[in-house]
Chains A and B, each alone.
Chain A
């Protein structure tokens, strides 16, 4: 727009100069955005850490009330052995729960699309299960389920399976109607339609659900651990936080919290990468990321 206007008012030199300026501005803006995407959050982090540290130092707050970031870091290093063991337990339960959520969620979704009767009978209960807070179901589960691991898994599964179920169901029902007709014309069986048409159509929807479920299964695992403890299978991160709280070991609480948050981010990033790898060749979402 600027280019055209300048060209009309001034000579050709003016016009090309304006175009070059415009281009330079555009490039600078893009470079700024590229760097800013990483630099700005890092800056915010550094500032908050510094501010946190200053509050502790200036007010002379003892570390059993609020440890400074440096103290948290040294605890993370010195307690790493203990924390790592706890992480392994929590991570294992999270991953197992996610696996069960995938099998259960996607499996139910496939059953739902195969039988309307099945969907009508069960879907309301899937919703009820989803909207009831897990923290209120968990104590009951641990009364009836002897096995700690099984109980934790059930809790995490209840939290995580619903986004996979609802997303996959939506995907399985989103097939292109012309393609559906084409499959009919070529005499596709129910099974062929499911495998070659419905499942590929549902894949992006499923992956979207999976990313949500990844975070939720970690939440489910942590909440269940708070309720039940992890007696018998070693203590996970949530239990470590509880225990450290009883002992007023506040730095360790922070360190464990840091690890839980890091685990959540790690799960999200991993699932995002998997999703991108599976879709990058054909799906619109991956196309936009490439540009």
Chain B
């Protein structure tokens, strides 16, 4: 899987992305030639013990610096592929190939779940310290990293608070701070804002993009919201439902930083339409 073009093999049979690429600012085929590959999901399939086929022949390439969204209906195996990349689950067939390999225990993968998943008995700073603590590093020696991570998510002054004193959005910020504190090669986010109210979600979307611009991390973002995926990502992989695989990829060729202006622009609406149609197609084809 050295050739990143293999990823698009599926796209070539889809007229959808091509037909819409004529107008300026509308989706085009994804061009990943000039980016460095980080990892490849290579023909991955997953069959669960009860014979449920969650994933089949899934192809996906993630490049350095990508903000890649996995978009699909619930039960399409989005979370399954995320768990496999995180090393929590083995694929039944195929392989996950990291460029230069990956050592999982040293915090090279950051994860944010749908729930904040904080330890309620530990303060905010101790929660952020967790990945370092499990590597045997003291809080004192990691002081700068912890403070920096909290600063990046806008939680200065909350280091000593307990999670129960924080709002849902702030708890999520702590979870993001914990995920990025170790400067991971990729941050995996599994519908992190799905349980939050819309106002908080918009704010966190904006802040996440700002954060990404600052530290330039790679993010793989699972969502079932068309709007969220268009606003955040530079690539959207639309998945079919069970068995899940990538149906099509949409490139969102809009420059960062994106803000409220982009959210209300015509091109945003156009991307949303394209993505919705792709999602619609993926569902109807699966049925």
Considering only residues 66-90 of chain B, those with a C-beta below 8 Å from chain A are 83, 86-88
Considering only residues 158-200 of chain A, those with a C-beta below 8 Å from chain B are 176, 178-179, 181-188, 192, 196-197, 200
Asked if B172 is at the interface (CB within 8 A of a chain A CB), the reply is no
Contact (Cβ within 8 A) B162 A185: no
CA distance A185 to B120 in the complex (A): 19
In the complex, how many angstroms separate the beta carbon of B195 from the nearest chain A beta carbon?
Answer: 13
Asked if A281 is at the interface (CB within 8 A of a chain B CB), the reply is yes
Which residues from chain B contact A200 at a C-beta distance below 8 Å? Answer: 119, 121-122
Contact (Cβ within 8 A) B106 A182: no
Chain B residues touching A, majority SS:
loop
Asked if B104 is at the interface (CB within 8 A of a chain A CB), the reply is yes
Count residues of chain B with CB under 8 A from any CB of chain A: 25
Contact (Cβ within 8 A) A186 B105: yes
Asked if B130 is at the interface (CB within 8 A of a chain A CB), the reply is yes
Which residues from chain B contact A188 at a C-beta distance below 8 Å? Answer: 134
- The residue from B106, B109, B121 contacting A203, defined by CB atoms under 8 A apart: B121
In the complex, how many angstroms separate the beta carbon of B130 from the nearest chain A beta carbon?
Answer: 7
Which residues from chain B contact A178 at a C-beta distance below 8 Å? Answer: 113, 115, 117
Asked if A25 is at the interface (CB within 8 A of a chain B CB), the reply is no
Contact with A along B88-118 (1 / 0, CB 8 A): 1000000000000000111101010101010
Which residues from chain B contact A184 at a C-beta distance below 8 Å? Answer: 87-88
Contact (Cβ within 8 A) A182 B111: yes
Asked if B164 is at the interface (CB within 8 A of a chain A CB), the reply is yes
CA distance A61 to B42 in the complex (A): 93
In the complex, how many angstroms separate the beta carbon of A176 from the nearest chain B beta carbon?
Answer: 7
Contact with A along B113-138 (1 / 0, CB 8 A): 10101011110000000110111000
- The residue from A179, A185, A192, A281 contacting B104, defined by CB atoms under 8 A apart: A185
In the complex, how many angstroms separate the beta carbon of B261 from the nearest chain A beta carbon?
Answer: 36
Which residues from chain A contact B109 at a C-beta distance below 8 Å? Answer: 185
Which residues from chain B contact A283 at a C-beta distance below 8 Å? Answer: 120-121
Which A residue's beta carbon lies closest to that of B106?
A187
Asked if A287 is at the interface (CB within 8 A of a chain B CB), the reply is yes
Asked if A282 is at the interface (CB within 8 A of a chain B CB), the reply is yes
Which A residue's beta carbon lies closest to that of B107?
A186
Contact (Cβ within 8 A) B121 A185: no
In the complex, how many angstroms separate the beta carbon of B275 from the nearest chain A beta carbon?
Answer: 28
Chain A residues touching B, majority SS:
helix
In the complex, how many angstroms separate the beta carbon of B274 from the nearest chain A beta carbon?
Answer: 33
Q: A178-B115, A283-B120, A287-B164 are in contact. Are A186 and B131 (CB under 8 A)?
A: yes
Contact (Cβ within 8 A) A176 B164: no
- The residue from B115, B120, B130 contacting A186, defined by CB atoms under 8 A apart: B130
Contact (Cβ within 8 A) A282 B134: no
CA distance A181 to B135 in the complex (A): 16
CA distance A172 to B151 in the complex (A): 34
Which residues from chain A contact B86 at a C-beta distance below 8 Å? Answer: 181, 185
Contact with A along B143-161 (1 / 0, CB 8 A): 0000000000000000000
In the complex, how many angstroms separate the beta carbon of B155 from the nearest chain A beta carbon?
Answer: 18
In the complex, how many angstroms separate the beta carbon of A219 from the nearest chain B beta carbon?
Answer: 32
CA distance A196 to B131 in the complex (A): 12
- The residue from A186, A187, A282, A287 contacting B121, defined by CB atoms under 8 A apart: A282
In the complex, how many angstroms separate the beta carbon of B248 from the nearest chain A beta carbon?
Answer: 30
Which residues from chain B contact A187 at a C-beta distance below 8 Å? Answer: 104-106, 134-135
Which residues from chain B contact A197 at a C-beta distance below 8 Å? Answer: 119
In the complex, how many angstroms separate the beta carbon of A208 from the nearest chain B beta carbon?
Answer: 16
Q: A187-B104, A187-B106, A203-B121 are in contact. Are A181 and B88 (CB under 8 A)?
A: yes
Contact (Cβ within 8 A) B164 A282: yes
CA distance A188 to B135 in the complex (A): 8
CA distance A187 to B121 in the complex (A): 21
Which residues from chain A contact B120 at a C-beta distance below 8 Å? Answer: 282-283
| From B107, B117, B162, B163, residue with most partner A Cβ within 10 Å | B117
Contact (Cβ within 8 A) B162 A281: yes
Contact (Cβ within 8 A) B134 A192: yes
Considering only residues 78-124 of chain A, those with a C-beta below 8 Å from chain B are none
CA distance A179 to B163 in the complex (A): 14
In the complex, how many angstroms separate the beta carbon of A282 from the nearest chain B beta carbon?
Answer: 5
Which residues from chain A contact B164 at a C-beta distance below 8 Å? Answer: 282, 287
Which residues from chain A contact B104 at a C-beta distance below 8 Å? Answer: 185, 187
Contact (Cβ within 8 A) A179 B105: no
In the complex, how many angstroms separate the beta carbon of A193 from the nearest chain B beta carbon?
Answer: 9
Which A residue's beta carbon lies closest to that of B162?
A282
Which A residue's beta carbon lies closest to that of B113?
A178
CA distance A183 to B127 in the complex (A): 12
Contact (Cβ within 8 A) A185 B87: yes
Sample (7) of A-B pairs whose CB atoms are under 8 Å apart: A184-B88, A185-B104, A185-B109, A186-B107, A186-B134, A200-B122, A283-B121
Top 7 closest pairs, chain A to chain B, by CB: A187-B105, A178-B117, A200-B121, A186-B134, A178-B113, A188-B134, A186-B131
Contacts from B to A (Cβ < 8 Å): 83, 86-88, 104-107, 109, 111, 113, 115, 117, 119-122, 130-131, 133-135, 162-164
